[in-house]
Amino acid sequence: MSLRRLTLVILVVFITTEAASGEEVKKAVGDAVCFRPNRIDPPASSIMWKHRNSSGVLVNVIEWDCNGFSIPNQRFKDITTLDKETGEITIRDLNVKHSGLYTININSKEQEQRFHLEVLERVPKPVIKTQKSINPDAVYLICEYSETIIWKNSAGKTLKGLKLHLKGEFITVEKQGNPENFYTCTLENAVSEATSDPVYERDLFNDLNTRLVVAIAVSLITVVIIILFLIKIHFRDYCAACCRRSKIYKKITDM
């Protein structure tokens, strides 16, 4: 066998055993996860699961031996169970701190299998912000989040967003003349997705009716203000006259 072929064979064996011994799982906060080792044969007399986080801190997760079960670490208390027949571990109510590498010792011997767990927060339900543009028939819709963003319109078509300076994306929406058209923004990560409430075209552009209503309201208010002003002037003149009269009256009575 040539050296080249040998290298290839070694490489293939290495890659396949790597794949077989490494299991990668992504879960959302609050989910449960199960890891199960290859068949235990003959039955084990002791089992121990260990967890190493990305800082390299190693803790015992759950142990079983002739003294029964024990869960020494607070982080795994009340949420972890172990099946002593199969070696399967279950962890419920996961949080991001449970991310890391899980390994199992059977009869005090560390097994080759590796279990990688990544626990991610669920994405929040996004809220679309709007911003006017110079063009009265166009507005910007903004989705300010760091996750993957997917824009869609009411026809189900995916729209291409442009990157914002800090985080998130925006799209430019032009008036189509159909008030029922709408747009949504969806956030996505490896374990979850969430879509915003739709933003309708009727709420993005002032149509003719609203402009008319605003114009009427403004002219009515102006008329009322002018009337109040005139009434005020009238009363001032009236009072001044009144005042003058009473002064004259006072002078006469003082005499």
Ligand X SMILES: *[C@@H]1O[C@H](CO)[C@@H](O)[C@H](O)[C@H]1NC(C)=O
CB of 177 to ligand X, least distance (A): 53
Stretch that binds ligand X, among 15-23, 52-60, 174-182, 239-247 (CB under 6 A): 52-60
Residue in 1, 3, 57, 255 binding ligand X, rule: CB under 6 A: 57
Burial 182-212 (b: 16+ CB within 10 A, else e): bbbbbbebebbebebeebebeebbeeeeeee
The span from the CA of 20 to the CA of 35, in Å, is 14
Prior bond to 42 cis, omega within 30? yes
Beta carbons of 9 and 16 less than 8 angstroms apart: no
Residue in 53, 105, 113, 154 binding ligand X, rule: CB under 6 A: 53
Identify which of 204, 206, 184 has the alpha carbon closest to the alpha carbon of residue 195: 184
CB of 78 to ligand X, least distance (A): 17
CA dihedral 74, 78, 72, 47 (to 10 degrees): -140
Contact letters (x/-) for ligand X, 115-144, by CB under 6 A? ------------------------------
Residue in 11, 14, 92, 97 binding ligand X, rule: CB under 6 A: 97
CB of 53 to ligand X, least distance (A): 4
Stretch that binds ligand X, among 12-20, 48-56, 106-114, 134-142 (CB under 6 A): 48-56
The owner of tokens 């004259």 is 248
Residue 55 touches ligand X, criterion: CB under 6 A: yes
Residue in 54, 67, 131, 209 binding ligand X, rule: CB under 6 A: 54
Q: What is the DSSP string of 205-252?
A: S--HHHHHHHHHHHHHHHHHHHHHHHHHHHHHHHHHHHHHHHHHHHHH
CB of 22 to ligand X, least distance (A): 20
Q: How many residues bind ligand X (CB under 6 A)?
A: 5
Stretch that binds ligand X, among 50-58, 118-126, 151-159, 216-224 (CB under 6 A): 50-58
Pairing of strands 199-200, 68-70: unpaired
Pairing of strands 129-132, 114-120: unpaired
Residue 77 touches ligand X, criterion: CB under 6 A: no
Nearer to ligand X, 62 or 173 (CB): 62
Strand order in the sheet with 80-82: 33-35, 89-91, 80-82
Nearer to ligand X, 72 or 136 (CB): 72
- Contacting residues toward ligand X, per CB under 6 A: 53-55, 57, 97
